[in-house]
Amino acid sequence: MKVDDIFSYADLVHAEKANLQRGMNFRIRPAYSIFLMSLRKNAPYQDAVDQVTGTLIYEGHNHPKTQRCRNPKVVDQPIVTPKGTLTENGKFFTSAMNFKNGVQKKAELIKVYEKLQDGIWSYKGFFELVDAAFVQSGRRKVIKFYLRPVLKKSIGQIEDLPHNRLIPSHVKLEVWKRDRGCCVRCGASKNLHYDHDIPFSKGGSSLTAENVRLLCVKHNLEKSDRIMCLMPWVLVGAQTAFQLGRK
């Protein structure tokens, strides 16, 4: 699975081998936790992304609806259950505070999936949970979790990820509507990926729809192969130009 891959909820469940009914899943795997998020206007929680720093601001979840709590949206978001055990909010909040205060050496690693619209999800990548806070929202308090984007390598190394590498949600939605949910090369509607027309590594932008398109896995791989084949010729050309410049 790669960042910006597109899939259904069933595909997401199959990939994680877990029934992800909750939006917050603390240490569902030994190496990471999972957040399900959405920036849609009708989303149940007010998640956000800071466009300057790339920080993901994830809102905690409400108290479950019960006989005693018929309207969870007017009650402070809980960190403990009535029995005194930690809720998912509480587990993540404790981890964030432990990292912030130096008790925990490594930040909680969280894998994030974003719901773009009903039935359509996109893999957003890995983030580190670096802070959390109670924030006043109307007459109640909600919990905000602050996550920074990172690049997780196969050997276990974690590197900071440039925030402008991530394709914003509004760009993804614009591209999805423009390309009608299909590969622009062959019209396939499965195994899709958000692709940079000009690669980000070569100066292509992630911030506008003009440089982003939908490709199926076949044509995405063909593009990668073509770029790799061109690279030796680019290097030869650069070397020749350098040698000529020395004469």
pLDDT of residue 244: 45
Is it the case that residue 228 has pLDDT exceeding 80? no
State what percent of residues in the chain have pLDDT above 90: 58
Helices (H), the chain: 9-16, 88-100, 169-178, 217-246
- Is residue 137 very low, low, confident or very high in pLDDT (cuts 50, 70, 90)? very high
Q: Three-state SS for 220?
A: helix
Distances from the Cα of 127 to the Cα of 36, 138, 150, angstroms: 12, 29, 5
DSSP string for residues in 170-200 = HHHHHHHHHTTTS-TTT---SSEEEEESS-G
The tokens describing 8, both together, are 């259904």
Buried b (16+ CB within 10 A) or exposed e, 37-60: bbbeeeeeeebebeeeebbbbbbb
pLDDT of residue 211: 93
- Is residue 119 very low, low, confident or very high in pLDDT (cuts 50, 70, 90)? confident
- Is residue 195 very low, low, confident or very high in pLDDT (cuts 50, 70, 90)? very high
Dihedral angle over CA of 122, 126, 129, 135, nearest 10: -20
